[in-house]
Structure 1
Amino acid sequence: MFGTLPIFAGGVLNTLAVSTLVAYRIPQKQFLIWCVLEYGICLTRLIVLVVAQRAAAERRKTPTDIYILLGLAWAASVGYGTLISLLSGDWVVATLACLSAAAMVGGISFRNFGAPRLAGAMIVLTLGSCCIAAPFTGEPLLMITFLQIPFYLASMSAAGFRLNKMLIVTMRAERENAYRAQHDSLTGLRNRAGLAEAIAARRDGLSALLYLDLDGFKAVNDTHGHGTGDQLLRAVAARLGESTRPSDVVARLGGDEFVILSELLAPAALIKLGERLVTQISAPYDLAQDRTVTIGVSIGIALAPEHGTDLASLLSAADRALYEAKALGKSRAALAPLRKAA
């Protein structure tokens, strides 16, 4: 939002060129100060912008607050240059400075429409100096700036708030659509697509996949109805969330099938985790309408990269282990056989 490079480059080149030319034409202290301010602020903004873009690319926190403050400082510097240029009595210099300020306001309004209050503050700092200087120029016609600039500020602010509202609605819709695409609507857990992305995001490829299938869920669903079944699935999802670590990924593939992507790698630790999940999932559930139901869970476990690195391979291996767990009497965890070294 604040890092549009073409507008930034155009604004920097413009203000640096104007401040340099004005200082060359009138080499007085106040104009030299303006020139130094422009170079210092613009260079600092460029450094912060590059740092921010690199941080954003790496999904790290960006120094946005600092960049916004530098934007306000830059607007104030442009306003200062406009003020001293108007008061200089040199109309070539005044024309250059005012033209530069007016041009910058267009970029400010376009670039910062997502932050209308910031855009308004920058407009005031950039063009407000025209109103301050007008009474001291000896030109009564310049008093019209007291009407022009407030009107321009009001119209640009209104447009900015309207565009900001549209931006927020669009961003929320995109975020919600992205969430729906990767999460189960009933439980809020990740769905198959979200799980596949989580597996792909594991750069080291080291993880374990626990494939859970509820024992006795169909009987509950058939006896008490789908409403009770949905309540039970949400309760199971809640217990899985409480029973896993923050780094683990819990997903629902559909029906009564759940998956946990864990960073645990030791087979003994995974079997222990599976047994703990069996115990916790098998505890009675107090549902609505004073209904208490009990189910079990069978778990198949696969390892990455031993059993594969993609979702399909890991699910296939875990499904075989799950079949073994059910064949042994259900309500237990089984690890898929590891490949023997040649």
Structure 2
Amino acid sequence: MHSRRASVDRLTTWLLGSRLSVPEAIAVQLMNGLFTSVPIFLGGIMNISAVAAVAASRHPSAAFIGWLLFEIALGMLRLAILVHGRRAIRAGRTPPCLLSALLSCVWAGSVGFGTYLCITSGDWVLATIACLSAAAMVCGICLRNFGTPRLAAIMVFLALLPCVVAGLRTAEPIMPIISVQLPIFFLTIFSASYSLHRMMVSRMTALNDLQRSELLNQTILQASPDYTLILDPTDRVIFCNRPNSADSDQDSLMGREWMGLLPEEDHALGIQALEDAKAGKSANLVTHHFDASGRKRWFDIIVNEICDGSGRLIVVSRDITHQKKSEEEAIWMARHDALTGLPNRALLQDRLDQMLDDAGPAMTGALLIVDVDNFKSINDTLGHDAGDALLCAFADHLRAAAAGDDIVARTGGDEFALILAARSDAEVERTAEKIFERLREPFAHGGRLIDCGASIGASFIPRDGKLRSEIMKAADIALYAAKAGGRAQLRIFEPAMMVEVDRHQTMIASARYALQCDTIIPHYQPKISLRTSQVVGFEALLRWRDRDGELRHPGLIQAAFGDPVLSGPLSERMLERILDDVGHWVQAGIAFGHVAINVTAADFRRGGFVETILPRLGARGVPPSCIQIEVTETVFLGQSAEDVKDALRRLSDHGIRIALDDFGTGYASLSHLNQFPVNLLKIDRSFVEKIGSNADAEAISATVINLGHCLGLEVVAEGVETADQEMHLMAMGCDTGQGFLYSKAMPMEDVEAFLAFRSRTVPRRERLASG
């Protein structure tokens, strides 16, 4: 046991010792260096593990995978020994130096083995990575083990010897030459390790340390990708390092004044930088120059004084041309639309602000807001590719119509804007006519011709506002007026347009208030059989209460029904209230017939209407026959017509009858009556109110009634207000009447009393008529 211990001690002394005679304390510190330099230690483990992982991913063979697993396991073991040794040193105990040294040798051998595998794999990308990594590992070995030169030499040998063997075994002509050079590299590394060791333990190595330091600085300087100049006290170049350039190019700068290298417009910045550097400050400036090919290159320059008392300056210039180009591209992208290449809203707003700042009392320009008509329909019908192509073509038309100094921008979606140097309505109208003329040319996409129109709203600068927001709002209001007036036209802002906008906003605000305060209330107008005078059902009509509690008609919130945010909640609130009322009547045993609910095309487009209403009826115990769905002719038109047909058919299959409202006033055809599951036709009130005074209205009403009966449909006349109208409808054979003649729409609480009143009075009227 004693002899074994002695052998271990001799091995430890030889492997980790020094040829120099040093005190015991220094020798212990040198050996304990195995547990210092943690960043280098971790960097080596992670670097070689990363190389092994790359190798295993590129060549998932047993050898590479085994190498990766071995590196991971060995790294974890060495890390554990390192942590244990550092704790032992802090506690004053002897760390496991020999074990750590042996594991370091095993690790160096694994580096060499893995590099051997990479070089002989034939994958020169992997071989290059492995060789660079091995070189880095050798540097790390020497730096970390300066206190144990023999260990460093052995580790370098174990790491590089397999590279020599691998180089001799490859078919690449250059590799054997490198393999011959590697032994020289071995000797150089060994010499560096022992020199570094002597420097640390002996005063005689101080001069050598200084020489190595200067050499290292020079190497770093020459290896740097930055342009480095050293200036003498007169600001002339005495040293030049230009990366990737010939010696002659560098010599051409020697002796020249540094200021002469800067563009004239940056001389003031250069003078200030030199003064700051000579004052002990770090100076910085960004400048440019044109290279031999005429390309503009940008440089970020730092000037500092060399701290050796010589008065020399070091100038480091970094090529930031790529960064500058990226910044310029980013700035351009931030101010332009990626699809059309036009300026975006931010650039447009800046130009408006500038014009307003420079504007005098006279008009200096005009802002045009241009909106593509029916773009959503085109986009939905032909796809987003067609929509994008249309927007690009639209942008080209606007560019062609604008003058050279005019600004054309895309402000978002299908909306564009122009800033014109216009001072009169006539100039704006001429530009608008150019736009309309260009848009009359059909746009072709995918073998199809697409008509593209536009609505234009215009405001004048600064007549219509002193602020950018006021100018843009005025143009938006004019655009709203153009759309409301039938689209495909120009409207120039007038103060009177604000009235219509205010009315629209008031409607939206009132609808939002009614939803928030839950004042949406359904009222019910009775539908009377013209043959028996009995109540056969009701139509649910929307009513709402304003802030003063007054009951209002839906016409005062008409704009909300076309608002994508409010229309859905309004329909949903009405449906819930109606179904609650119908459920109450069913539970109370009230014979109300049915309730007709108005459903819009938007309700069907939102999807899930059938899936929503049927379970709600079941939850309230309401038979489907108690509900009718009233739709207008617009639901039969458009891209979603097939989905609407499917929804109506499913409702009809469950016993819900379908009524076609306002028949004869829109675009419905007889084919729609045949294609869609319609059970009832409703004659619009615009015809009924003229019965008895207009022969055409009577003829149309009679035709609708006869048509409905021929198709087996029930016919309902809306807006019956006089007994004379009722008699004419009865004579025509109309089935049902609805209007003020019978009753106005009433709240849910009055329905039961109305039904009771009708049941008492209608039979009496019939008996009196027969008597």
CA deviation string 1:283-303 (max 9, x = no partner)? 21122x223211110101101
Alignment of 1:155-194 (within 5 A): 160=317, 163-164=318-319, 167-194=320-347
Structure 2: distance between partners of 1:113 and 1:194: 27
User: Is the 8 Å Cα contact of residues 196 and 310 (structure 1) preserved in structure 2?
Assistant: no
Deviation (angstroms), 1:311? 3.2
Structure 1: distance between partners of 2:290 and 2:339: 38
Change (3 A) 1:116 1:280: closer
User: Is the 8 Å Cα contact of residues 266 and 287 (structure 2) preserved in structure 1?
Assistant: no
Structure 2: distance between partners of 1:331 and 1:173: 41
1:320 lines up with 2:477 in the alignment: yes
CA deviation string 1:300-328 (max 9, x = no partner)? 11011111143321121111111222222
1:281 lines up with 2:439 in the alignment: yes
Q: What residue number does 1:310 align with?
A: 467
User: Is the 8 Å Cα contact of residues 189 and 252 (structure 1) preserved in structure 2?
Assistant: yes
1:237 to 395, 412, 423: 395
Q: What residue number does 1:250 align with?
A: 408
CA deviation string 1:167-200 (max 9, x = no partner)? 1122112111111111111111111111111112
Letter in 1 for 2:477: R
Structure 2: distance between partners of 1:323 and 1:112: 50
Divergent runs of 4+, >4 A: 64-69, 109-114
User: Is the 8 Å Cα contact of residues 307 and 317 (structure 1) preserved in structure 2?
Assistant: yes
Deviation (angstroms), 1:275? 2.1
User: Is the 8 Å Cα contact of residues 250 and 261 (structure 1) preserved in structure 2?
Assistant: yes
Q: What residue number does 2:354 align with?
A: 201
Q: What residue number does 1:227 align with?
A: 385
Structure 2: distance between partners of 1:271 and 1:112: 48
Could you tell me which runs of 5 or more consecutive residues in structure 1 were left unpaired when the two chains were aligned: 1-10, 17-37, 46-63, 70-99, 119-154
User: Is the 8 Å Cα contact of residues 275 and 332 (structure 1) preserved in structure 2?
Assistant: no
Structure 2: distance between partners of 1:337 and 1:110: 56
CA deviation string 1:60-99 (max 9, x = no partner)? xxxx966699xxxxxxxxxxxxxxxxxxxxxxxxxxxxxx
TM-score by length of 2: 0.25
- Secondary structure in 2 matching 1:184: coil
Change (3 A) 1:209 1:67: closer
Change (3 A) 1:316 1:68: closer
User: Is the 8 Å Cα contact of residues 253 and 259 (structure 1) preserved in structure 2?
Assistant: yes
Alignment of 1:82-121 (within 5 A): 114-115=288-289
Structure 1: distance between partners of 2:466 and 2:339: 28
- Secondary structure in 2 matching 1:251: strand
Letter in 1 for 2:384: H
Change (3 A) 1:231 1:306: same
Higher relative contact order (CA 8 A, sep 6+): 1
Letter in 2 for 1:322: L
Q: What residue number does 1:336 align with?
A: 493
Cα RMSD after superposing both structures = 4.1
User: Is the 8 Å Cα contact of residues 187 and 234 (structure 1) preserved in structure 2?
Assistant: yes
Change (3 A) 1:68 1:301: closer
User: Is the 8 Å Cα contact of residues 263 and 289 (structure 2) preserved in structure 1?
Assistant: no
User: Is the 8 Å Cα contact of residues 282 and 297 (structure 1) preserved in structure 2?
Assistant: no
Deviation (angstroms), 1:113? 7.2
Q: What residue number does 2:297 align with?
A: none
- Secondary structure in 1 matching 2:368: strand
Change (3 A) 1:267 1:65: same
Structure 1: distance between partners of 2:287 and 2:433: 55
Letter in 1 for 2:333: R
User: Is the 8 Å Cα contact of residues 444 and 450 (structure 2) preserved in structure 1?
Assistant: yes
Change (3 A) 1:116 1:268: closer
Deviation (angstroms), 1:276? 2.0
Change (3 A) 1:267 1:117: closer
TM-score by length of 1: 0.53
User: Is the 8 Å Cα contact of residues 278 and 298 (structure 1) preserved in structure 2?
Assistant: no
Q: Percent identity among equivalent residues? A: 32
CA deviation string 1:126-157 (max 9, x = no partner)? xxxxxxxxxxxxxxxxxxxxxxxxxxxxx98x
User: Is the 8 Å Cα contact of residues 401 and 431 (structure 2) preserved in structure 1?
Assistant: no
Letter in 2 for 1:277: I
Structure 2: distance between partners of 1:189 and 1:219: 24
Letter in 2 for 1:311: R
- Secondary structure in 2 matching 1:183: coil
1:295 lines up with 2:452 in the alignment: yes
Deviates more, 1:323-332 or 1:176-185: 323-332
Letter in 1 for 2:350: E
Structure 1: distance between partners of 2:477 and 2:265: 55
User: Is the 8 Å Cα contact of residues 335 and 344 (structure 2) preserved in structure 1?
Assistant: yes
Q: What residue number does 1:24 align with?
A: none
Report the structure, 1 or 2, having the larger helix content.
1
Structure 1: distance between partners of 2:469 and 2:450: 33
Change (3 A) 1:281 1:68: same
Deviation (angstroms), 1:329? 2.0
Letter in 2 for 1:241: R
Structure 2: distance between partners of 1:116 and 1:196: 35
Give the count of matched residue pairs. 213
Change (3 A) 1:290 1:305: same
Structure 1: distance between partners of 2:444 and 2:372: 17
Structure 1: distance between partners of 2:287 and 2:460: 49
CA deviation string 1:6-59 (max 9, x = no partner)? xxxxx9xx759xxxxxxxxxxxxxxxxxxxxx9xxx9xx9xxxxxxxxxxxxxx
Structure 2: distance between partners of 1:301 and 1:317: 7
Q: What residue number does 2:6 align with?
A: none
Could you tell me which runs of 5 or more consecutive residues in structure 2 were left unpaired when the two chains were aligned: 1-230, 236-256, 268-273, 293-313, 497-771
Letter in 2 for 1:231: A
Letter in 2 for 1:212: V
CA deviation string 1:241-277 (max 9, x = no partner)? 1111121111111111100011111111112211221
Letter in 2 for 1:228: A
User: Is the 8 Å Cα contact of residues 440 and 452 (structure 2) preserved in structure 1?
Assistant: yes
Structure 1: distance between partners of 2:285 and 2:332: 28
Q: What residue number does 2:373 align with?
A: 215
Change (3 A) 1:227 1:309: farther
